[in-house]
Amino acid sequence: MAALRAAAALQLLRLGCAAAAVPLVIWHGMGDSCCNPQSMGYIKKIVEAKIPGIYVLSLKIGSNLIQDMENSFFMNVNDQVREVCSQLAKDPHLKGGYNAMGFSQGGQFLRAVAQRCPSPPMFNLISIGGQHQGRVYGFPRCPGESSHICDWIRKTLDLGAYTQAVQEHLVQAEYWHDPLKEEDYRKNSIFLADINQERGINETYKKNLMALKKFVMVKFLNDTMVDPPISEWFGFYKSGQAKETVPLKETLLYTEDRLGLQEMDKAGKLVFLGVKGDHLHFSEEWFYTTILPFLQ
């Protein structure tokens, strides 16, 4: 009888472990912070309410919320990714793996984490408005239009997005993709050109990204912030002009399978979702019915 009770207890323990929610890591966008009650704090709250027992880590880069916000503009992205990889490796809640969800620039930053830091493993990557072929050609608007930061960023990008000093100290320059200056972009972009394999093939990047179970990309169908919006689905302008765009499947990144996206697509790992609304504007109902299933 004791042996039967022990076996039953072990089975219940196994069932409990199997039913444990997969942890979630989220990364905010430009001008935001980890714990803003109107944005990431709210997302964390509603995910925890819908998935009891889930561990949600909202990434903070810096020692406080002000630093976190400022770093979204001024801290070298490669340094941010290294910091996040360190945070994830040290977090005991994540040792078995996790799902990741990035908002706007946080989407491409988390993709860099997937490509560069496979331990602990990332299962599903959900990019909500992430600009995987670059943002932006032009700078339509940025959070806080009255802020002098936005005006300063525009002027700096116009003067020299691909200069070493700007690349190393302005986040938005590091994923600036000017279709009229493709060679400058490929040669001098210290972040996006690297993770998009523009200067050669890093087989480790490719292998690590292909290990994802699902790579979900959300495009906002009425986006006025990202130019071009198709970048959210890995498309971009045709080289040498800024009017006609091409979808992912017509890019060299896909046809030459530099990142393994073609193979992932054939395996059903790529998910392209469209939602009506401007950049990062979505309803709770849409989030619950469309995004939550990828977290469970």
Q: Are 126 and 102 in contact, with CB atoms under 8 Å apart?
A: yes
Query: Omega before 120 cis (within 30°)?
Result: yes
Which residues touch 25 (CB under 8 Å, ≥6 apart)?
Answer: 56, 57, 59, 88, 94, 98, 99, 100, 101, 110
Q: State how far the Cα of 100 lies from the Cα of 112, in Å rounded to an integer.
A: 12
Q: Are 257 and 234 in contact, with CB atoms under 8 Å apart?
A: no
Q: Which of 33, 104, 189, 231 is catalytic?
A: 104
Whether 279 is a known active-site residue: answer: yes
Whether 32 is a known active-site residue: answer: no
Whether 104 is a known active-site residue: answer: yes
Q: Which of 223, 227, 231, 257 is catalytic?
A: 223
For residue 218, what are the β-bridge partners? 128, 273
Q: State how far the Cα of 4 lies from the Cα of 20, in Å rounded to an integer.
A: 24
Which residues touch 233 (CB under 8 Å, ≥6 apart)?
Answer: 132, 217, 219, 247, 248, 272
- The number of residues in the chain equals 296
Q: What is the dihedral of CA 249, 98, 107, 229, to 10 degrees?
A: 50
For residue 98, what are the β-bridge partners? 122
Q: What is the dihedral of CA 146, 227, 129, 166, to 10 degrees?
A: -70
Q: Where are the alpha helices (DSSP H) in the chain?
A: 2-19, 40-50, 65-74, 77-90, 105-116, 148-160, 164-169, 182-188, 192-195, 203-210, 252-255, 261-266, 284-286
What residues are annotated to the active site?
Answer: 104, 223, 279
